Structure 1
Amino acid sequence: MLTQKLPPEPVPEPITLMGWVRVLWRGFILGSVVFGGLLVLLLVRLIERPLYGQHRPITPYITQFVCRMAFVILRIRYATQGERMQQRGAVVANHSSWLDIFTLNARKRVYFVSKSEVAGWPGIGWLARATGTVFIARNPKEAKAQQNVFEERLLAGHKLLFFPEGTSTDGMVVFPFKSTLFQAFFTDHLRHEMYIQPVTVIYRGPDGGDPRFYGWWGEMDFGSHLLKVLAARRQGSVEVIYHPPVRVDDFPNRKTLAAHVEEVVRQGMPNDRRG
């Protein structure tokens, strides 16, 4: 992950005895809910897939329930502003943490767009595939095939979600949006009926603690960061702001579209995080 313009990762503090108790208790409940929900999702999908194909009228609600319960278990306060997009199209958001998976699935039915390497990650890759994540490879030879997948999923009514920053941050800044993926929306099949909804995600650390508490960036290890969150005696909050969607047709090219939604996402951040 890119670390340019970001401060060094904080040194993890030792977990206390009571912290380990919270890790075991919360971890057991969270794991039971996540993997139990996954099992139910896979069983329902066995019926849903032959009946509806690409359309998923039932299983996304299972994903939403699991993600909402994650915040209850972790005791992280969760709040939203704005209306979810009803039109066909995609969602773009700033990227600060692995918690974004739960944060952005908890209220809105979305399907993530992720780099192909994630498919091979233990546990996470399995969950991502089961919930309908679209994997893309950084290989120009596969660009046409990936474009076809985008079109198929978008025209089926799926709202694809991607992180145009291309990396995660400490949650205190929004990096410039890369415009490459926006080109997919400018084909003749899509541009006349697609919308893009910018979303700002704001994490706030526990009261009196590091505001970057939930940020996951640089060379930070996923396992140790997960343990830190599970062990915390006090938790913070996350706020999701849904901005008004914009029509792809209203922009002449991918760069102007990317620049516009980047500015909207940045303006949704608190004043001290708009750098």
Structure 2
Amino acid sequence: MNATWHGDPPPPDPPITPAGWLSVICRGVPLALLVFGGLALHLTLRLIERPLCGAQRPVTPRITVFVCRNALRLMGLRLRLTGPEFSGQGAVVANHSSWLDIFVLNATRRIYFVSKAEVASWPAIGWLARATGTVFIERNRSRAAEQAQVFQTRLHAGHQLLFFPEGTSSDGQRVLPFKTTLFAAFFAGGLKETLAIEPVTVLYQAPPGQDPRFFGWWGDMTFGAHILKCLASGAGGQVTVVRHPPVHVRDFADRKALAAACEAAVRSAHTV
């Protein structure tokens, strides 16, 4: 299990005002209906899609993209994309600042997250992750070959896999050092010669007048308190997703070199 990043403690959140609670209700109720209504539709269609298409998912990921794009709108978080979209077979790596990254990155394309195993048991987020095809893994080198087989199966089904090499979320003001364990899986099982990895930088801009770390989720923060803070905010912020040119696994000698190149690309657009 990866240690949680703590860094500097966040400033205490001020009490939510009556206007803030009104914002929570006006945003939160439609958001819950959208997310759980979309989940119900997703699961229903998956009952048809699974026997007909197996590992391939030609329909249900479109629901995920629709739900996540509109969830960001309901939360007042503007989404901005830069860089060409990566459409080939491969994986995506990104820096990790918040639980919001799940909505943000799902809103940009049809992708499947690679997540630490314990996320599967988290309330709400775990349910959504399982339903949308998340690959749950243990970050353990001894299981690299097994995980490579899982990756190979999913990639051959046309899935783009996304993972956070930092292994934990931060305050959004930095990129933490990339852990290299998962990169080893891309050198096994025949993946090395065909696989490309796209580095992605996610940058949050806080609402006017708020702490620059407003959207970061780190240390001992709880999910419930953080989402209430986001919903209560009267003005929205912005998140920019910077897509970098993909790198080919075959061009690197080992996982450490590949991880270093991806980390450098992600850092290159992180302006904080």
Alignment of 1:1-275 (within 5 A): 1-3=3-5, 6-138=7-139, 142-270=143-271, 273=272
CA distance in 1: counterparts of 2:149 and 2:207, whole angstroms: 44
Report if aligned partners of 1:98, 1:216 keep a CA contact under 8 Å in 2.
yes
Question: What is the percent sequence identity of the aligned residues?
Answer: 57
Match for 1:131: what amino acid?
T
Return structure 1 stretches of 4+ with deviation > 2 angstroms: 1-4, 137-147
User: Deviation digits for residues 21-80 of structure 1, max 9, x if unmatched?
Assistant: 111121100000000011111111111111111111111110000000011111111110
Q: Cα offset for 1:188?
A: 4.4
CA distance in 2: counterparts of 1:82 and 1:180, whole angstroms: 27
CA distance in 1: counterparts of 2:191 and 2:142, whole angstroms: 22
Q: Cα offset for 1:140?
A: 5.8
Report if aligned partners of 1:9, 1:219 keep a CA contact under 8 Å in 2.
no
CA RMSD of aligned residues (A): 1.3
Match for 1:86: what amino acid?
S
CA distance in 1: counterparts of 2:123 and 2:97, whole angstroms: 21
Report if aligned partners of 1:9, 1:220 keep a CA contact under 8 Å in 2.
no
Unpaired stretches in structure 2, ≥5 consecutive residues: none
Report if aligned partners of 1:93, 1:201 keep a CA contact under 8 Å in 2.
yes
Report if aligned partners of 2:148, 2:188 keep a CA contact under 8 Å in 1.
no
Q: Cα offset for 1:143?
A: 4.2
Report if aligned partners of 1:29, 1:73 keep a CA contact under 8 Å in 2.
yes
Q: Cα offset for 1:208?
A: 2.5
TM-score by length of 1: 0.95
CA distance in 2: counterparts of 1:168 and 1:16, whole angstroms: 28
Q: Cα offset for 1:139?
A: 5.3
Match for 1:48: what amino acid?
E
Aligned length: 270
Q: Cα offset for 1:241?
A: 0.6
Unpaired stretches in structure 1, ≥5 consecutive residues: none
TM-score by length of 2: 0.96
Q: Cα offset for 1:147?
A: 2.6
Report if aligned partners of 1:97, 1:214 keep a CA contact under 8 Å in 2.
yes
